[in-house]
Chain A
Amino acid sequence: MTRRTAARQWLLLLLAAVLFSTPAFAQPSDTGFLAMLGELRDASFADKDQILGRLIDSGHASAPRVLTAWLDDRLYARTADQKVFIITSADEKVDPVGLVDPLSLKNAGSSTRDALTRIGTNNKLRRTLRIAVARFDLANPDASVRLAAVTEMLRSPDEAGAELLKARAAVETDARVKAEIQMGLSLVALDGPDAAVRLAAVQTLASRSTQQVRNRLALLLDKNPDGSDVETDEAVRQAATAAVRRIDRSRTMFGMVETLFFGLSLGSVLVLIAIGLAITFGVMGVINMAHGELMMLGAYTTYVVQVLMPKHIGISILVAIPAAFVVAGLAGVIIERTIIRFLYGRPLETLLATFGVSLVLQQLVRSIFTANNRAVETPQWMSGTLQLGDALAITYNRLYIVIFTIIVFAILLAVLKRTRLGLQIRAVSQNRAMAKAMGIRSEWVDAMTFGLGSGIAGVAGVALSQLTNVGPNLGQSYIIDSFMVVVFGGVGNLWGTLIGGMSMGIVNKILEPYAGAVLGKIVVLVALILFIQRRPRGLFPQTGRSAESQ
C-alpha cells in the first residue's frame, strides 16, 4: 500500500466515524431502551404518550415487538424487581405465563400473573401504537400483514405516513398492497396545492369504492360557510362529481348483492332447520316441539367431536355431520317408538308430549354440559372473508352453509324420489290406508321418517354451531322460525320448504336496514299471519286424503 492510499483510507474511516456518530445512525443503546421501558411502569398516560414517542424514534430493533406486545396487552412489569417483560399469552386463563426479555426477545422464564402488573393503555395511546405498529409492519414479509398495516395507516393519513407509504410503494411487489398504497397516497394528495395533482388523484380514486374514498371525494364538492367552493378547480370538481356518482352506483349494486347473499344465507339456515320438521309433519301430521332440541343435540355433537379431536379441527365438521345425523336421528327414533306412536291421530296431544320431551332434553344437556355456552371452533378453511371488490365482503362460513344446504336438499330429494324408503314415505303421506293395504309397514315408515327428520335437524345443528352460541337454549331460539317456514312453505313437497325458507330469509334481510332485526322479525310474523288468510295451508299444501284430517 502506498502512503496516498493509506491516507485515503484513514480519511474514509474518519468520515464514517463522523457520519455514524450522528443521531440518525446512532445505534440506540440497550440501557437507554430499557430505561425508557422502566419509565413506563409508573408513568401517567400523558407521560406514556411521550415515552412512546421516544421509543418509536429510538429505532431500536426490539421496538416493534415491544410496541406490538404493548398494544396486545402483553407488556407487564414484574413487581419483585420492577423489570419489564413481554408475556407470551394475553389469555387470562393461562397462568403461570411465559416471559420474554424485551431486549433479546428470548425466553426469560415464567411467572404467575399475580406477580405481574400490566402496563396499561388508553384510547389515545392505542391509536398511536396501532399506527406505529402498522408502520413497522410495512416491511413484514407476509403480504396480508402489510395490507393490514397499510389499511391501518390510512385510517389517519398524514405527511409522515405518506412518506413511508411512498417509499414502500417503490419496492412493493404485491399488487393488492400496492393498490392500497396508491389509494392512500391519492387521498393525501387531495390536500395538496397543485390542481393537476389533485385531478390525477381523483381519477385514481374513482376506481375504488370504499366508504372512506367516497366520503373524501364528496367533501371536495362541499361549500365553505361563506358559500364558496371548497375545491377551487372546476375540472377537479367535475371529476369528483363523476367519481362520486360512479362509486354510489357501484356501492348500491354491491349492496343489493350483499343483501341478497345475506338473505340467502339466512334463508339457507331457515331451510335447514325447517326441512326435517316439514318431512315429519307432512308424513305423520306431527308437529315435533322437540325439533329445536334435536338441532341442539347436533350442535353439541359438533362440540364433542371437536373435544375428541382437538388437533384436527379442520375435518371436525366433516366428521360431525354424519355423527350429528346419527345422534339426533337415533334420538328421534327413540322418541317416536316410545311416545309418538301411541298418540297417533292426535296431533295436538303429540305437540304437547313432544314439548315435554324438549324440556327433558334441555335439562339433560344442562346437567351434562352445564348451562354455559360451549365454544365450537370454526375450522380454518371456513374462516375468513372473500373480498369481492371494495364494497362486497362475503364470509366463508355463510357461503359454505348455503352450499351445504343445497347439498342436503339435493340428497333429501334423491332419497325421497329414488330410494325405496322414499317411495314408502311418499306413499304413506299421500294415503296411509292404501299404503298399508299394499303391504307397507306404516309403523316402520313412521319411525324411519321421524328418524330422518330428526337426523336432518341434527345436521342443521352442526351448521348452527358455526353461526351462533351453542347452549341448552339453542333450540328455543330457532324453533319458532322453523315453524314459520313450515307454515309458510306448506308441507306438500320439499320445494315448498326451500322456496319458503329462502324467501323469508331474503325478505327479512331486505327489511333489516329499514326496520332493524327485531322489528323486521315482527313484521315477518304479522305478514305470515295475514298470508295464512289467503292460503291456510301454505304455499305448497299437501294434497290427498290425510290433508283433511289435519
Chain B
Amino acid sequence: MTRSDQTGTAFVSTLAIAAVLVPILNQLVPVSSPLHVSTYVLTLIGKYLCYAILALAVDLVWGYCGILSLGHAAFFALGGYAMGMYLMRQIGPRGVYGDPLLPDFMVFLNWHQLPWFWHGFNHFPFALLMMVLVPALLALVFGWLAFRSRVTGVYLSIMTQALSYALLLAFFRNDMGFGGNNGFTDFKELLGFDLHRDSTRVVLFVATAIALGASYMACRAIVKSRAGRVIRAIRDAESRTRFLGYKVESYKLWIFVFSAVLAGIAGALYVPQVGIINPSEFEPINSIEIVIWVAVGGRGTLVGAAVGAVLVNYAKTYFTGALPEVWLYALGALFVLTTLFLPRGLMGLLPGSGDAQ
C-alpha cells in the first residue's frame, strides 16, 4: 500500500467511526457523563464536515489542477440557497404572516405571487437537483469562458473573486427574491422531520459524514485514474500537456464543474444544520479562507484538505469564542506562515510523505 493509500484508509476509517460514535455519545450516553456529546457539539462537527467537503472541492481544482479558485464559496452558497428555498417552502402557513404559499419576506415586500424560479422547490427531488445543477451550470459557463480564452494564474483567481463578489452584490438586493440581506431562516422541517429535534440533527450529521466519505472516494478515484495524472500534468506544465494532444480546457472544465457540484452539496448539507443562509456566504473572504484550510492541511493530498478544514475551523470556533480580537491576527499569521514555511501543509510534515500525489 502506498503512503497515500494508508492515510486514505485511516481517514475513511476515522470518519466511519466518528459517524457511528458521535451519535451514540449524543443519544445514548447520559448528559451527566463526561463522554456525552451535546447536540450543539454534534451540529458543530457536522458543520466542520461540510467544510471538509468544500475543502476537498478546492483541493481538487487547486492542489491537483492548479486552478486557484477564490470564489468557491459562491458554489457553496448557491447549493445552500437551493436547500434554503426548499426549506422556506416547507414552512408553509406557519410563517409569521401565515401565508401558505409566500415566505414571510415576500409578504413583507408586498409581493402577491411566487416568482417563477421558486416553483418546484416544494418538491425535494427538484430541490436536490437544483442544489447540484445551479453550481454546476455557473461553473460550466464561467469555466468555459475562462479556460477557453486561456485565462490562467492570478488573472483567473481575480476573475473568480469578481464572480463571487458580483453574486454577493446581487443576492444582497431585496428585490431579487432571495430574501435580500436577511436571507432565509426560521426553517421548520426537512422532509417532514422537525429540524429542531435531536434525532433530525443526528441524521443530518450522519448524512454529512457519509457525503464526506463518498466525496473523498470520488475525488480519490479521479486522482488515481489516468485523468488524474493528466490533471496533475496540466498543473505542472500546461503547454506540454497540450502539446501531447490533451484537450487541456476540457479537463479543466470537467474538474471545475465537478468541484462546484461538491461545493454545492456541502452548502446544501450545511444550511439545515446551521439554520440560516444569507448573502454574506458569498463574501470573498469566505472563499479565501477555504484556500487556507487546504494550504494548512496540505494541498494535493485530499486528506490534508479535509483535516485542514476541520482544524482551522475548530481553531476559529475556539478563538472567536475565547479571544475574538486574536482570531484575525491568528488567521492572517496562518496565511503568511503556511505559505512561507509549510508549502506542503501539515501533511508534508508526516514522515515518508515524499512527493505529494
Contact = CB atoms under 8 A, between A and B. Distances in A.
Interface of A: 281, 285, 287, 339, 342-343, 347-353, 355-360, 362-363, 366-367, 476, 480, 483-484, 486-487, 518-519, 521-522, 525-526, 528-530, 532-534, 536-537, 550
Nearest to B283: A476
B146 A532 contact: yes
Given A351-B157, A521-B169, A528 B288 contact: no
B123 interface: no
A208 to B, nearest CB: 37
A532 B149 contact: yes
A529 B146 CA distance: 8
Interface in B144-168: 145-146, 148-151, 153-155, 157-159, 161-163, 165-166
Most buried by A among B145, B336, B340: B336
Nearest to B334: A356
B335 A353 contact: yes
29 contacts: A281-B154, A348-B157, A349-B339, A352-B295, A352-B339, A353-B336, A353-B339, A353-B340, A355-B332, A356-B332, A358-B332, A359-B329, A359-B335, A360-B333, A367-B325, A476-B285, A480-B165, A480-B284, A483-B158, A487-B158, A518-B170, A522-B166, A522-B169, A525-B163, A526-B166, A528-B162, A529-B142, A532-B146, A532-B155
Interface string B337-350: 01110010000000
Contacts of A360: 328-329, 332-333, 336
B335 A532 contact: no
A285 B295 CA distance: 21
Contacts of A366: 325, 328
A281 B157 CA distance: 14
Interface in B307-357: 325, 328-329, 331-336, 338-340, 343
A287 B162 contact: no
A287 B154 contact: yes
A38 B328 CA distance: 58
Given A352-B291, A483-B161, A530-B145, A359 B340 contact: no
Contacts of A487: 155, 158-159
Given A522-B166, A529-B159, A532-B159, A550 B154 contact: yes
Contacts of A480: 161-162, 165, 284
A519 to B, nearest CB: 8
Given A353-B340, A363-B325, A529-B163, A518 B173 contact: yes
A532 B144 CA distance: 12
B329 A536 contact: no
B59 to A, nearest CB: 14
Q: How large is the interface on B (under 10, 10 to 19, 20 to 34, 35 or more residues)?
A: 35 or more
Given A359-B328, A487-B159, A339 B154 contact: no
Nearest to A339: B336
A230 to B, nearest CB: 35
Contact of A532 (B151, B165, B334, B343): B151
Contacts of B154: 281, 285, 287, 347-348, 351, 550
A349 B291 CA distance: 11
**10 tightest Cβ-Cβ pairs between the two chains A and B:** A356-B335, A359-B332, A360-B332, A363-B328, A356-B336, A356-B332, A353-B339, A533-B149, A525-B166, A349-B339
Contact of A342 (B142, B148, B340): B340
A358 B336 CA distance: 10
A348 B58 CA distance: 14
Contacts of A521: 166, 169
Given A285-B154, A351-B157, 7 more contacts: A356-B336, A480-B165, A483-B161, A487-B158, A522-B166, A532-B151, A533-B149
Contacts of A347: 153-154
B169 A348 contact: no
A283 B335 CA distance: 23
A343 B146 CA distance: 26
B149 A343 contact: no
Contacts, number: 121
A219 to B, nearest CB: 32
A124 B133 CA distance: 57
B339 to A, nearest CB: 4
B173 to A, nearest CB: 6
Interface in B252-301: 284-285, 288, 291-292, 295
A337 to B, nearest CB: 13
Contacts of B173: 518-519
B4 to A, nearest CB: 23
Nearest to B337: A356
B68 interface: yes
Nearest to A531: B149
Nearest to B150: A536
A532 B160 CA distance: 12
Contacts of B155: 487, 532, 536-537, 550
Contacts of A351: 68, 154, 157
A352 B292 contact: yes
A536 B158 CA distance: 12
A529 B291 CA distance: 22
Contacts of A362: 328
A425 B154 CA distance: 21
Contacts of B329: 359-360, 363
Contact of A359 (B148, B151, B163, B331): B331
Most buried by A among B158, B169, B332: B332
A339 to B, nearest CB: 6
A339 B337 CA distance: 9
A550 B333 CA distance: 26
Given A339-B336, A348-B68, A522-B169, A355 B149 contact: no
Contacts of B142: 529
A530 B163 CA distance: 12
Contacts of A353: 335-336, 339-340
A537 B334 CA distance: 31
Contacts of B148: 533
Contacts of B157: 287, 348, 351
Nearest to B159: A529
B176 to A, nearest CB: 10
Contact of B335 (A352, A486, A519, A533): A352
A359 B329 CA distance: 7
A357 B339 CA distance: 12
Nearest to B66: A348
A484 B335 CA distance: 24
Contact of B145 (A281, A356, A529): A529
A483 B162 contact: yes
A362 B162 CA distance: 21
A484 B288 CA distance: 18
Contacts of A342: 340
B203 to A, nearest CB: 37
A287 B339 CA distance: 15
Contacts of A350: 339
A450 to B, nearest CB: 16
A529 B162 contact: yes
Nearest to B291: A352
Interface string B42-68: 000000000000000000000000001
A545 to B, nearest CB: 15
Contacts of B162: 480, 483-484, 525, 528-529
Nearest to A342: B340
Nearest to A358: B332
Nearest to A350: B339
A486 B161 CA distance: 14
A529 B166 CA distance: 11
A536 B149 contact: yes
Nearest to B328: A363
B39 to A, nearest CB: 32
A377 B329 CA distance: 30
Contacts of B331: 356, 359
Nearest to A347: B154
Nearest to A534: B149
Nearest to B341: A342
